Copies of this chain bind each other. A is one copy, B any other.
Amino acid sequence: MKYTLLIDCNDKKGLVYKISKVLYENDFNIETQQEFVDKENNKFFFRAVISGEVDKDKLKQELLKEIPCGNIRIFKKRKKRLFLMATKEAHALGDILIKHYSGDLDIEILGVIANRENLKDLVEKFNIPFYFIPAEGKTRIEHENEMLKIIEPLNPDFIILAKFMRILTPNFVEKFPNKIINIHHSFLPAFIGANPYKQAYDRGVKIIGATAHFVNNNLDDGPIIEQDVIRVNHEMNWEEMREKGRDIEKIVLGRAIKLAIEDRIFVYGNKTIIL
């Protein structure tokens, strides 16, 4: 049996020793192991991919005996189940569809919700359920509840906002803590909010970027998972920046999804630790 073992707790002497002792005595093989201590906050983070015969519940009991304070999570290795949300742009969604199709992203796609209808044809080419849920004439909460009725029963591991251009309220966000990943089309915290390419153009920056982050209750303010940038110059208007930025958006989102499905991301405060 192969597991991913994630532990975070207050740091103290001997944690690695105690964890590796339990793994050794239960005859686990460690494929990879990383640990990190946040000294400012005295927090210990540990991730290992392990294989062995012992059941995961028993392993958890053994570990808790040695490190009682620990927040211990053990995941059996399996394909993660993702739900996607989009509006009308095809690049980020299309990149996930192609990576899923080719096996470059080893995921199950449960479905796609969009508040525009134009992506229906693309999604259905790949035999993935598409739900058109327009927002017009509904309150935010009504619109979200309509979407939740589809998503919640599916119990996805992660919800990916592949250029979903609406703000989610706490009503929605709080149901999926550290499970909603958004791609923002700027190098956060620069250019929060609407039309960041226009903002970047107006400010005359020489580099633009994209940011994948977990969604919390503050707009574009959740824990950052991954960022990347590209050069721009005075010759480009904001539409050209947007077009050039799309490649970075999809790449950054793809990397964040990869980290998420491999259970590599710890969230602590408003930051991520990636092991």
Q: Is the interface of A mostly helix, strand, loop or mixed?
A: mixed
With an 8 A cutoff between CB atoms, is A226 at the interface? yes
Q: A189-B190, A207-B228 are in contact. Are A17 and B13 (CB under 8 A)?
A: no
Q: Say if the beta carbon of A141 comes within 8 Å of chain B.
A: no
Within the assembled complex, what's the spacing in Å between the Cα atoms of A224 and B21? 36
Cα(A203)–Cα(B223), bound, Å: 8
Chain copies in complex: 4
Q: Does A233 contact B (CB under 8 A)?
A: yes
> B247–A224 contact, CB under 8 A?
no
Most buried by B among A16, A104, A226: A16
- Interface presence of A137 (CB below 8 A): no
Find out whether the CB atom of B94 lies under 8 angstroms from the CB atom of A102.
yes
Contact of A227 among B24, B101, B207 (CB under 8 A): B207
The yes or no answer to A65 lying at the interface (CB within 8 A) is no
**Residues of chain A having any CB pair with chain B under 8 Å:** 13-14, 16-17, 20-21, 23-24, 29-40, 89-91, 94-95, 97-99, 101-102, 104, 122, 125-126, 187-191, 203-207, 209, 223-229, 231, 233-235, 237, 243, 246-247, 251, 254-255, 270-274
